[in-house]
Amino acid sequence: MIAAIVAAAGSGERFGAPIPKALIQLGDRTLLEHAVSSLSAVVDQIVVTAPAGFEDQIRSLVGDAVTVVTGGATRSDSVRAGLAAISDAEFVLVHDAARALATRELAASVVAALKSGDVAVVPALPVVDTLQNVGADGYVVNAVDRAPLRRIQTPQGFSYSVLNAIHQGAQDATDDSTLALNAGHKVRVIAGEERALKITTPSDLATALTFLGDATTFSTGVGVDAHAFGEGRELWLAGLHWPDEVGVDGHSDGDVAAHAICDALFAATGLGDLGSNFGTSRPEYAGASGVTLLKETLSIISKGRYSISHVSVQIIGNRPRIGARRAEAIATLSQALGGAEVAILATTTDGMGLTGEGKGIAAIASALVIKNA
């Protein structure tokens, strides 16, 4: 039997996302779903190591055929947790969910090398940049011969006995081949893939999108919303309740940031607008929260085979002050949109108009969406 462990317990901190990196959207699927899909045609069992608290969400994404366990504080801890869920395997592949676009052919090549007798196999690419050692003073010390150097990728493959043995200790490493090498095992290197890049930053995600080719097309939309303040109303803005602030009039809760985002998404997808989908002709949405409308909007555009790449919203008004709760608002909006990347800005209009005169609040949003084949 061939098993695979998908390391997906990493945070999205370096990416700047409020959700685990494995749950970031790449085209029509999350990074994790891409990774699992490529492995499923090659291995008999897949174990995903999930961030604590996200196990159920990941189970709903990958289905019952995939085992989901709670990952550890380090990558090696997560691999050990995955190993504990595997039994009776001859070979095990260890793959990073962040290398979402590694192909099934690459995984099959790793398995083929294992079946030929190697106990540790890694895909890798040559180093193409000039390399130099630089001293503490900022000057070059010497050049490094790049010819024998390689950029190591995943999935990496091991005999079960070797992988289990190298993870018996408490040591940690950035990849498993290093542990195998330190334990005295020979590590076979095979040709890697440019598309198996590690997605760590937004620019990496943009690069990864280029590998999806004609399967995706992009479109943008802009949405605007404004409401006047209304005495006796609670203020809801960017999915948050703002106590001690006067709310705004409206059919729903009057969350201008959420409403502007909804309209931006509808404009980008051509699937109506806020009024046609949730207006006064739809009494079930009377008093609905902005978060509810965002979730409904996500459902509508997802059925139209669109996914969200990025959303930005600028809130315009003298109050409330957004800065102190910006991170909380971003997390709330992103969660309502299935983990999409969200940016929030705030400004005033220097005393001019509805917002500048303190009579109300407004928002302008833009959305970048992907049409999936």
The binding site comprises: 225-227, 251-252, 259, 273-275, 347-350
Cβ(228)–Cβ(275) under 8 Å? no
Rg (CA), the chain: 25
Question: At CA 314, angle to CA 311 and CA 320, rounded to 5?
Answer: 130
Q: What is each CA distance from 44 to 39, 40, 112, 157, in whole angstroms?
A: 9, 7, 15, 14
User: Can you list the alpha helix ranges (DSSP code H) found in 270-289?
Assistant: 274-278
Question: Where are any strands of DSSP class E within 117-176?
Answer: 120-126, 131-134, 140-144, 150-152, 156-159
Q: What is the rounded CA–CA span in Å between residue 52 and residue 37?
A: 23
Strand partners, 3: 45, 92
Closest CA to 274 of 332, 302, 265: 265
Residue 169: both structure tokens together = 């200790």
Q: Tell me which DSSP letter residue 74 carries.
A: S
Q: What is the rounded CA–CA span in Å between residue 89 and residue 91?
A: 6
Q: Tell me which DSSP letter residue 51 carries.
A: P
Q: How many CA atoms lie within 13 A of 231 on its CB side?
A: 0
Binding residue positions for a divalent metal cation? 225, 227, 259
